[in-house]
Amino acid sequence: MLFAVVALSLVAFARAGETSLALGSPTYVAQGVFPTEAFASYYNVPTLTDEQPQPVITNVLTGKVFAAGLTDPKNIPVNDTSDPRTYPPALLSTDAAGPLVQNAFNQIVNIANLNNSGWGNNCSRCLAGLEVAKAVALVTPESIPTLAVNLCNYFKFSTTCQNTYGPLALGQVLAQVLAAADVAGYDGQNICNNFVSGFCPLPPPSPLNMTGYFAKPKPANAVAPPPSGQRARVLHISDFHLDARYATFAEANCTSSLCCRANNPNSHSLNQVLLPAPRYGWFTCDTPYDLALAALQAIPAVTGTEGSGFDFTIFTGDLVSHDPENELSQTYVEYTETVLYDLYKKYLGSGPIYAAIGNHDSYNQAEDAPALLGTQLGQANLSTQFSWNYDTLSTLWENNDWISSDVAAMAKAHYGAYSVARPDGLRIITINTDLWYKANYFNYINMTKSDPSGMLRFVADELQEAEDAGERAWIIGHVLSGWDGSNPLNNPTNLFYQIVDRYAPHVIAGIFFGHTHEDQFQIFYANNATNISAASAGAVAWIAPSITPLTNLNSGFRMYEIDAVTFDILDAHTWYTNISATASLDNQTAHGPKFVYEYSTRQAYGKSISWPASAPLNATWWHKVTEEFEQNPALIQQFTTYQGKTSVLSPNCTSAACVAAKICYMRSGSGPIGKTCTQGFGSVQ
């Protein structure tokens, strides 16, 4: 059956007079013994089936070997004291701050306990509490972790207050944000909306100021170039989330947080493992080494690239596992980045890999600060507190010959983002979407500005250079700019939407995201989507499925067939492995998981659409697909199946409300537009 699907796809293109790229085997069954050639040496015996391999890895910047204890699944290190803690300048020593902190705690508790009829409302009380906390941050910033933990415990915000907000976790981040943010105004309203149970209504987007973003008006003949008939292969992988601390046969049915960890049982059955973690992964866990290597070996086999490689690969972020804050560290992030980029180089062939930073590719997770913060708070090192990460990543990319030294220097200076003008006429522009991600605390400073970091001005300038040079461009990021609006912030993605409108469809040939772990897409329209139609559709963002099965998903990846001259996407092929079958593979070496062909995008969604076989799957085509969804709502269930990579745990989408909501998400490319859709149907997890 799978072979027939592939064959039909090839026949369709042959009838149109085109040459479709041949795929590889329709299925790939991984070997049952771990491929020991993946690494030079190991701390344990890598072929054991009752534990995950523990390779010996060397830090690319320091030349030092990462200690075995960093990833020891039986004794996971917590509260790393070697990581630098960065605070704004203090006016009062921490030792002398005790009475001030206690007084601030009492004031905030009193404000929170005031009766609504007596004083203010939830929003005004939240803002007043933030002002008290800001006063502490300005005088004795190193006391903020203590205040945050005490308030967290008092109001029962979390059961892990110390591990989340203490000085060895997010405490110093809170101190910086409170010291710099306008907590009584727009910044504070957003903080109280997002982090304090929606106490303030979400303020509307700020008026856009596009001054300086567009050097020239949009050309009158801004149309995409015609197809060339030449094809190339591009791999898209996302959200790998390697768990080097995965404990085979630990609890996969844990009570909270990341499962398949020796230190995370089911609280209702502390003395018995209810669901042993399978060797090749589970729905509540990140990617173990055994699944990671199986996927990387499967990719060349099923895509037909063995011995040749891809023309290039894009990776849309998230290398690191979903650890609790107190188990993360700068060293653990560096370890994971080193491991996976080396494995990509080894298994994915000779073509370059262009990568974007994910929200888990940082420490603290999701945190990236704009460079102006140091100037604002009067301490220069606050501007460079994440430079270690940009240095590590750019060095790895350059050492693997994926980018030049000039581009590596650009990445170091632009928050890990960069631009590459390829000799074939495609400009790759990567962006650090932590700078519009809702969970990044640093984004709650200067929120009335749509681009305080300058990242989006960088994107606009690169697109203008591409237009002037007659190039086409791909934009690669991690956190999607729209869909249901639950992940991005309004102001920066509103600005991004206008930039896309200016340079689509004649320059922008594709936009690519990850983050959700799901197979999705979103369409950008002209004039801020005031007229949603096939004629006004300008660009589409492809949101890739994840390698990690977290949460309740199968593991998958995608390959694009693109026009080798225009760089438009002509088809997309997706593969997955059935995670529900992994438990049957334990304690045996006959074979590993099976990766199977899931679907061709063109075949799955284009059957009822009048569309030339040589035409790309552009925004107009995708809008017509959404019109088909409106006419035949049953097709949304097919989309939902693919959204979860054919997971047995994905819910159905058969109600009128679900169908309408998903079509709305598909037509939203920014946070403000996504938030206008009915919420609650954005994910299958």
Binding region: 239, 241, 318, 359, 478, 515, 517
d(CA 210, CA 491): 12
What is the edge-to-edge ordering of all strands in the sheet holding 537-543? Answer: 419-421, 426-430, 472-476, 508-513, 537-543, 520-525
| Alpha carbon separation from 71 to 117, 225, 265 (Å, rounded) | 54, 50, 18
Residue 173 structure tokens? 């981040």
Q: Are strands 555-563 and 569-577 parallel, antiparallel or unpaired?
A: antiparallel
The annotation places the binding site for Zn(2+) at: 239, 241, 318, 359, 478, 515, 517
Give the alpha-carbon dihedral of 677, 680, 684, 685, to 10 degrees.
140
440 near 479, Cβ under 8 Å? Answer: no
Distance of CA 58 to the CA centre of its chain: 26
Amino acid at position 508, single letter: I
Question: Would you state the structure tokens that stand for residue 70, as one six-digit string?
Answer: 């960093």
Q: For strand 426-430 and strand 419-421, is the pairing parallel, antiparallel, or unpaired?
A: antiparallel
DSSP string covering 395-412: HHHHHTTSS-HHHHHHHH
Give the separation between CA 412 and CA 384, rounded to whole angstroms.
Answer: 10
Q: Cα 304–307–312 angle (5° rounding)? A: 70
Stated as kind and residue range, the H or E segment containing 130 is helix 122-139
Q: Which of 129, 123, 133 is nearest to 202 (CA)?
A: 123
**What is d(CA 157, CA 609) in angstroms, rounded to the nearest whole number?**
50
Contact, 181 vs 445, CB < 8 A?
yes
- Rounded to 5 degrees, what are φ and ψ at 539? -155, 160
Can you tell me the distance from the alpha carbon of 455 to that of 437, in angstroms, rounded to the nearest whole number? 13
How many other CB atoms sit within 10 Å of the CB of residue 274?
Answer: 12
Structure-token pair, residue 680: 């609650």
Q: Is the dihedral of CA 677, 679, 684, 685 positive or negative?
A: positive
Tell me: cis bond preceding 364? Omega within 30 of 0 counts: yes
Strand-pair partners of 437 = 488
DSSP per residue, 4-37: HHHHHHHHHHHHTT--PPPP--SEEE--SS--GG
Can you state the angle between helices 455-469 and 490-503, rounded to 10 degrees? 0
C-alpha span between 151 and 232 (Å, rounded): 56
Query: How far is residue 5's CA from residue 25's CA, in Å, rounded to a whole number?
Result: 12
Task: Return the residue matching tokens 């989309």.
Answer: 639
Q: What CA–CA distance (Å, rounded) separates 318 from 359?
A: 6
Give the whole-angstrom CA distance, residue 640 versus residue 646.
Answer: 8
Asked if residues 333 and 57 have their Cβ atoms less than 8 Å apart, the reply is no
**Rounded distance between C-alpha atoms, residue 565 and residue 128, angstroms:** 58
